Amino acid sequence: MVAGNRIWTAALVVIGDEILSGRTQDRNVAQIATWLNVQGIRLAEVRIVPDVEERIVEAVNALRHTHDYLFTTGGIGPTHDDITVDSIAAALGVPVVVHPEGRAILEAYYAGRGGLTEARLRMARVPEGAELISNRVSRAPGIRIENIFIMAGVPHITAGMLDGLTGTLEGGRPVVSLTIGGFIAESDVADLLREAERAHAGENGGVSIGSYPFFREGRVGSNFVVRSEEEARARACIDALMRALTAAGFEVVEGGI
């Protein structure tokens, strides 16, 4: 692979019984995926595991060496079911310590709110050697250790932590994604899609075309998404696809529908 074209990847471990029970709809996968893409990093795998230390350790150790970055969400609050810090420390074989800066943040915050109890102090615990990720949205910081980024479960707090990380992680070229769509049955255009993808193959993975069918207003339709690391190639492919679909008599909407 040519220098500069290295593909940077990340994995995400979502820690949460509430997601696996169906009680809570996860929003962090989409949020982190979108954010990563802007950093030029590709989300390559997600695992959702229960609040069980050995399952968290297993997932973290399976993914932290095979990707440039590993994110986790969930389980960093003050209650007994928040075991992410302990689990990641166990995965890395380091002890859990109280981070002095984290303690100072909590002390200041709880000064007029009953003081820093043992439960509250839990939120300043980190795997030894970790640094904090600043968070302008709420006071709770995220945690970074090695290539692991430990984020909150509550999506808008995670957003604050991502904001604190923006521009700090090395990545490659963001994947460019262009969409067209219409009330077109994907089975009517399968050959045409395959042909367009093949015609725009290239050295760096060329383009990939995804076909996403939907049913709306009682009608069948599809959106077609062209992804590439090369904007010109993505543009050429989507233009060719547009022409081919139009020539075949379909009404196509740029940007998708």
Residues that bind its own copies (CB under 8 A): 14, 17-27, 29-37, 42-51, 55, 77-82, 114, 117-120, 122-123, 138, 153-154, 156, 175, 177, 186-188, 190-191, 193-194, 197, 208-215, 225, 227
Closer CB to its own copies, 129 or 254, in the complex: 254
Closer CB to its own copies, 30 or 111, in the complex: 30
Closer CB to its own copies, 32 or 57, in the complex: 32
Closest separation between CB of residue 129 and its own copies, Å? Answer: 25
Closer CB to its own copies, 36 or 165, in the complex: 36
Virtual CA dihedral for 40, 10, 202, 5, nearest 10 degrees? 60
Rounded to whole angstroms, the Cα distance separating 182 from 174 reads: 26
Angle between the N-to-C axes of helices 155-165 and 28-38, in degrees from 0 to 180, rounded to the nearest 10: 10
Q: Would you state the structure tokens that stand for residue 137, as one six-digit string?
A: 């949205």
Cβ contacts of residue 68 below 8 Å, gap of 6+? Answer: 8, 9, 10, 41, 147, 170
CA 175 to chain CA centroid, nearest Å: 14
What single-letter amino acid sits at 133? I
Closer CB to its own copies, 79 or 168, in the complex: 79
Closest separation between CB of residue 170 and its own copies, Å? Answer: 20
Q: What is the DSSP string of 63-128?
A: HTTTSSEEEEES--SSSTT--HHHHHHHHHT--EEE-HHHHHHHHHHHTTTT---HHHHGGGEEET
Closer CB to its own copies, 6 or 120, in the complex: 120
CA angle 64, 66, 71 (to 5 degrees): 40
Q: Which residues pair with 182 in a beta bridge?
A: 222
